[in-house]
Amino acid sequence: MPSPEHTPGSRGYIIPIGGAEDKVSAKAILSRFVRLCGGDDAVIAVVPTASVDPETPDRYRRVFGDLGVGTVRVVDVQRREEADAAAAALTGATGVFITGGAQLRLSTLLGGTDVARIMRRLNARGVHVAGTSAGAAFLSEHMIAFGKEGGTPIAGQATLVPGLGLTNRVIVDQHFRQRDRMGRLLSALAYNPFAIGLGLDEDTAAFIGPDNTLEVVGSGGITVVDAGGLEHSSMATVEEGKPVEMIGVRLHVLVEGSRFDLHARRAFPAPALPPPEGV
Q: Of these residues, 142, 202, 215, 258, which one is catalytic?
A: 202
Catalytic residue, chosen from 133, 140, 233, 258, is 133
d(CA 164, CA 155): 25
Angle at the Cα of 100 (from 254 to 28), degrees rounded to 5?
45
CA triplet 136, 140, 144: central angle to 5 degrees? 70
Q: Which amino acid is at 129?
A: V
51 is catalytic: no
Strand partners, 44: 72, 95
H or E element at residue 130: strand 128-132
Q: Alpha-carbon distance 220 to 203, whole Å?
A: 6
- Please answer whether residues 143 and 233 qualify as being in contact, where contact means their C-beta atoms are separated by less than 8 angstroms: no
CA 85 to mean position of chain CA atoms = 25
Greatest distance between any 2 Cα atoms in the chain: 63
**175 carries an active-site annotation:** yes
Single out the catalytic residue among 175, 187, 215, 258: 175
Is residue 140 annotated as part of the catalytic site, yes or no? no
Q: What is the DSSP string of 231-245?
A: -EE-TTTSPTTSBPP
Catalytic annotation, residues: 133, 175, 202
